[in-house]
Structure 1
Amino acid sequence: MEAIVTAGQAGRRAAADEVRAVLLAGGEGRRMGPLGTGRLKPLIPFGGTSRLIDFSLANARRSGLSEVLLLSQYEEQQLMDDLHRVWNSTRGFRVHFGPYDEAYRQLPADELPEKLPARGGPRERGTADAFLHKAAHVFGGRPSEILILHADHVYRFDYREMLREHRASRAALTIAYQRIERRYVHLFGMVEFDAGGNLTNFVEKPAEPSSDLVFAAFCVFDSACLQRYLERLDGTDWQHDISRDVIPAMLAGGERIRGHLVRGHWEDIGTVDRYLRAHLALLADPPTLPLDRMPLTVRPEVPRRFLSSAAGVRSSLVPSDVRNAGLVERCVLFPGVRIGEGAAVRDSVLLPGAEVPAGARIEASVVLEDGSVQPVGPDRPEDTSARTCPGIG
């Protein structure tokens, strides 16, 4: 693995293999409605350019890491096959598949294993179980730090400064955090710090938030400390979760836990409502993430651009291969989209290959690959049913 150059210390290097980057990708996407039906949540398309999981992988590669360990359990082969095709063709960077890695390691990216070894052991009940069941891959080789990442977070970040601060402070754990509107804090892990930057309170999804700071869900653990707490909690009456069990146990145990402020955009895509709002924020002035700062993994050969005003387009992100005989306004379009004559689509996301029939009227929706329309409401399950696009059938 490549070396990470510590910022501001040109003569000193910390080997990247001292850091084990671990990507948690176990989501089924059930809260996403039809958008998540038949597809893994990490592979849900995002931003007209990529999939949700690609953001954390792109950040890891940009941070000088050459390998990320995947921890998943839901439809594992579908996810691993996809990541092998997309990411393991990248020179100097690959996704490690834990107990299944040997089946992929000797294959070029355009080839996939015919059969994987049978899964052993019980199903994981939470994120902490994934670390325990695959401990040989997480802690093997005795990495100094474990960098934990998630597969449904949209952000651009270089982890090197956070790693440098973690090492300099000799903390047991450094957590990323961000300030958000207090009305949304109940959806996240709330955190509070003392004047010296040490964590004093951590509450997962608090009913009555007392802070506007939230855990951004990526963090750096001292490897030995993490392993010790996992083994201590195993077999107890616990929730098998890093956030609900391990971090509170470390805080109660008096471990030094530091915070690292995330200054740029960060978003957890937990519901289809937040999915749509995150896309509309890409069209703002300025955008939450400019087009050239997002991963490009879906049809990378197709150019994209933001058009503020053009024939049939207003304030939308469009690919060069779009065929538009109607009007799109404040929309994000993936490659292969077709808009029929006289159709109007506003405040929506159109997935790869989606077709909108002539004369259709669509607002605040996700248009799926098969042309069905998923209207989006404010985090209400009843608003996530898909319907046939007007004019079809």
Structure 2
Amino acid sequence: MIKKLLGVIDATTYCEELEELTVNRSLAAVPFGGRYRLIDFILSNMVNSGIESVAIFPKFQYRSLMDHLGSGKNWDLNRKRDGLFFFPSPMLDGESNGIGSFNHFAANIDYFNRSKQQYALISNCFTVFNMDFKPVLEWHINSQCDITEIRKNGKSLHMYLVKTSLLKELIETRETTGYTCMRDVVTDIHHTHKLCIYEYNGFAEIIDSVQSYFKVSMGLLEPETWKKLYVQSHPIYTKVKDEPPTRYLKGAQVQNSMIANGCLIEGTVENSIISRAVKIGKGSIIKNSIIMQKCQIGENCVLDSVILDKDVKVESGTIMSGSKDYPYVIRKGTVQGALMKS
């Protein structure tokens, strides 16, 4: 049964509320949890559910996404049959109001025509969760559903399970029906398909703003949340990088934080998430913050409720602070000096 499912990931979504983190990358490629990208969660869930063919449909700033995923080797998707496929968007007009533009699919209809999987799972790229889709497919088949929408607490997770033949029909008839995506179909009270709702009771959080990104990230520091998301039998895969262990020099203090490999810590880190190859200078205090890859923080700095994107350099003596509701975000590759206090 597990080989009957085709994976389709929509990576075209743009959230204005996340602009500070998506200037140079797509939403799917936004770093999360110190070593992952947002797309790692849905992609790992698909692979763990036995899906062997996954198509990714990107649109905006997808170079970093393609660099992260490569051939799909880290997800065991670099295979002769099926595997990982990229279908960058043609010049679409933004006519789709939901996940999975039928016009985008139509431009790559050969992929669906060649696929032998009987069912397709269409999903967004911005949900942080750990889910097995096999029970969903079994329930969908036993309930004789045409379309199954996955929800949590009554709200859509923007994931849809549909028969591949029906999906192709919806793509081919889009101009006649006026449907631009799956959301249009399930919200149309006049459609003739049997719509089913699958209520997911596990951990699932949608990242659609800086506030939700910060809140969900900080939640990883809670053991109960960590156990729900990172399950040994159902791992979240990501791009492997061979880096040395983190070095803690004299005077370093770390409390309730996640520290990735390759860091050099001389200062104090509390309730924070530190990504790979970050340097934190002597006397600096980092609290309630997210520091992304290869950031360099000088000596005697104070950062509280701050998000530093990749490759940010913070000069010695700099003070920056935000709040849990409005974290202070610094864009990728910028330099923050001591006179730029906030």
Q: What is the TM-score of this pair, normalised by structure 1? A: 0.71
Deviates more, 1:256-265 or 1:310-319: 310-319
Partner residue in 2 for 1:43:
29
Q: Which of 132, 143, 152 is matched with 1:158 structurally?
A: 132
CA distance in 1, matches of 2:8, 2:166: 16
Q: Which moved more, 1:46-55 or 1:135-144?
A: 135-144
Give the drift of 1:365: 1.4
Paired position in structure 1 for 2:264: 323
Distance 1:32 1:375, change over 3 A: farther
Q: How far did 1:320 drift?
A: 4.2
8 Å CA contact 1:276, 1:365 repeated in 2: no
Aligned counterpart, 2:110: 136
Instruction: Encode CA deviations 1:167-208: one digit per residue, 9 max, x unaligned.
Output: 1111001111111xxxxxxxxxxxxxxxxxxxxxxxxxxxxx
Q: Are residue 54 (structure 1) and residue 28 (structure 2) matched?
A: no
Is the 8 Å Cα contact of residues 375 and 385 (structure 1) preserved in structure 2?
no
Shift of residue 334, structure 1, vs aligned partner: 0.8
Residue 229 (structure 1) shift = 3.5
SS of the equivalent of 1:234 reads helix
Provide the TM-score with structure 2 as the length reference.
Answer: 0.80
Q: Residue 267 of structure 1 aligns to a residue in which SS?
A: strand
Q: From the superposition, tell whether residues 385 and 350 of structure 1 become closer, same or farther in structure 2 (CA, over 3 Å).
A: closer
Structure 1 residue 148 and structure 2 residue 122: aligned? yes
Structure-2 separation of matches of 1:52 and 1:263? 20
Aligned to 1:358: 299
Map residues 68-87 of structure 1 onto 2, 5 A cutoff.
68-76=54-62, 79-85=65-71, 87=72
Structure-2 change in CA distance of 1:304 and 1:224 (3 Å): farther
Structure 2 residue matching 1:39: 3-state secondary structure: coil
The residue aligned with 1:261 is 199
Structure 1: 5+ residue stretches without partners: 1-13, 101-118, 180-212
Structure 1 counterpart of 2:127, one-letter code:
H
- 1:212-291 matches, within 5 Å, as 213-234=154-175, 240-243=180-183, 245-249=184-188, 251-288=189-226, 289=228
Give a deviation string over 1:232-262, Cα, whole Å, max 9, x none: 4425666x3321x12123x422422112221
Identical columns (%): 19
Provide the C-alpha distance between the structure 1 equivalents of 2:243 and 2:134, rounded to a whole number of angstroms: 31
- SS of structure 2 residue aligned to 1:69: strand
| Counterpart position of 1:63 | 49
User: Deviation per CA, 1:26-81, whole angstroms, max 9, x where unpaired?
Assistant: 13454323322212221111111211111111111111111201112334555334
One-letter code aligned to 2:209: T
CA distance in 1, matches of 2:76, 2:264: 34
Change (3 A) 1:241 1:25: same
Structure 2: gaps spanning 5 or more residues: 315-319
Which residue of structure 1 aligns with residue 11 of structure 2?
25
* Distance verdict in 2 for CA 1:285–1:320, change over 3 Å: same
Would you say the 8 A contact 1:272–1:376 is kept in 2?
no
Q: 1:173 aligns with which of 147, 157, 174?
A: 147
Contact 2:7–2:121 under 8 Å retained in 1:
yes
SS of aligned partner of 2:256: strand
Query: CA–CA distance in 1 between the matches of 2:244 and 2:134?
Result: 30
Residue of structure 2 equivalent to 1:334: 275
Q: Which amino acid aligns with 2:304?
A: E
Q: 2:126 corresponds to which letter in structure 1?
A: D
